[in-house]
């Protein structure tokens, strides 16, 4: 009889992580590999992808560098094709790539900034999901994990555009869970709070924002990238086989 630890294993499965070369994405890529999956590491910079792949392979894992822009259709198609050619399957998709080019009042953002944010944060996950379902998951099942944000659940001043795209991603997660469930595809999301990454550097390194964030959490601190990875491994695994359409909040109790 399989043990509970067996149900967490990702052996013989293939995962693709967008934005997988740094911060939360890097932590997720490494954790999935440690759980036994072969991992495609995708982000815009090839050197950054290759560095994570080297770290995984040095530890005895299997990984592939698949650089590309997660908001561009041609790059999305090329990434999925490369994964299928190398591994012949994609069982796990982690839509982690995101951007937030503006930290400013709603009156100050430009249409270009909005389009850039929406393209990467919403359009990219939708197209990756579509392409991978066509290539593999619709026939064989799988697990899709979208990296949203507590900003998609609660309001934050100066983060309106980013929050709107993450709220859209949460809505997409729930709709796709309903749509893809009959095909054996589970779709869930995690919603991190403030995490110590380059992406959130302006927030982490602004004393007023940092201190307010720390004071708002039940744990009295901000999070680390590695603390996001465990939930993703769980959602990707058979240990979460009856979980779909859920949003797992990982914010140290800020919304408690």
For residue range 61-79, list pLDDT tens digits in order: 999 999 999 999 999 999 9
Q: Which residue has the higher pLDDT, 108 or 130?
A: 130
Give the per-residue pLDDT at 79: 99
- Going by pLDDT thresholds of 50, 70 and 90, the confidence category of residue 111 is very high
Give the per-residue pLDDT at 166: 98
Give the per-residue pLDDT at 115: 95
162 noted as active-site residue: yes
pLDDT in tens, 185-235: 999 999 999 999 887 677 777 777 788 888 999 999 999 999 999 999 999
pTM: 0.96
Q: Which residue has the tokens 């555009």?
A: 161
Identify whether 37 is part of a domain: yes
Chain centre to alpha carbon of residue 70: 12
Q: How far is CA 52 from CA 21, 66, 87, in A?
A: 6, 11, 18
Question: Residues 162, 167, 232, 235: which is the catalytic one?
Answer: 162
Quote the number of domains for the chain: 1
Nearest to 99 by CA among 27, 161, 48, 7: 161
| Residue-range definition of the domain harbouring residue 60 | 4-250
Identify whether 184 is part of a domain: yes
Tell me how long the chain is: 256
Identify whether 256 is part of a domain: no
pLDDT in tens, 124-167: 999 999 999 999 999 999 999 999 999 999 998 888 899 999 99
Identify whether 226 is part of a domain: yes
**What percent of the chain has pLDDT above 90?**
85
Give the per-residue pLDDT at 101: 87
Residues 6+ positions from 182 with CB-CB distance below 8 Å: none
Identify whether 123 is part of a domain: yes
Identify whether 151 is part of a domain: yes
Give the per-residue pLDDT at 175: 99
Identify whether 255 is part of a domain: no
* CATH number of the domain enclosing 102: 3.40.50.720
């Amino acid at each position: 009889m399989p043990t509970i630890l067996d149900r967490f294993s990702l052996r013989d499965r293939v995962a693709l992580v967008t934005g997988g070369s740094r911060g939360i994405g890097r932590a997720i890529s490494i954790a999935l590999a440690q759980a036994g999956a072969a991992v495609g590491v995708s982000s815009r910079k090839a050197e950054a992808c290759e560095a994570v792949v080297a770290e995984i392979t040095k530890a005895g894992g299997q990984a592939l560098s698949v650089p590309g822009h997660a908001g561009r259709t041609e790059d999305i198609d090329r990434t999925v094709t490369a994964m299928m050619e190398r591994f012949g399957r994609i069982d796990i998709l982690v839509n982690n790539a995101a951007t937030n080019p503006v930290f400013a009042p709603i009156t100050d953002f430009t249409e270009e900034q909005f389009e850039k944010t929406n393209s990467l944060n919403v359009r990219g996950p939708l197209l990756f999901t579509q392409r991978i379902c066509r290539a593999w998951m619709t026939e064989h099942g799988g697990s899709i994990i979208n990296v949203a944000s507590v900003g998609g659940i609660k309001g934050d001043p100066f983060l309106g555009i980013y929050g709107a795209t993450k709220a859209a991603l949460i809505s997409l997660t729930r709709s796709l869970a309903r749509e893809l469930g009959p095909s054996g595809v589970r779709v869930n999301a995690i919603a991190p709070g403030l995490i110590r990454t380059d992406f959130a550097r302006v927030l982490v390194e602004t004393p007023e924002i940092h201190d307010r964030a720390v004071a708002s959490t039940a744990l009295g601190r901000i999070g680390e990238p590695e603390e996001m990875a465990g939930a993703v491994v769980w959602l990707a695994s058979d240990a979460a086989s009856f979980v779909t359409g859920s949003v797992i909040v990982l914010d140290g109790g800020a919304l408690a």
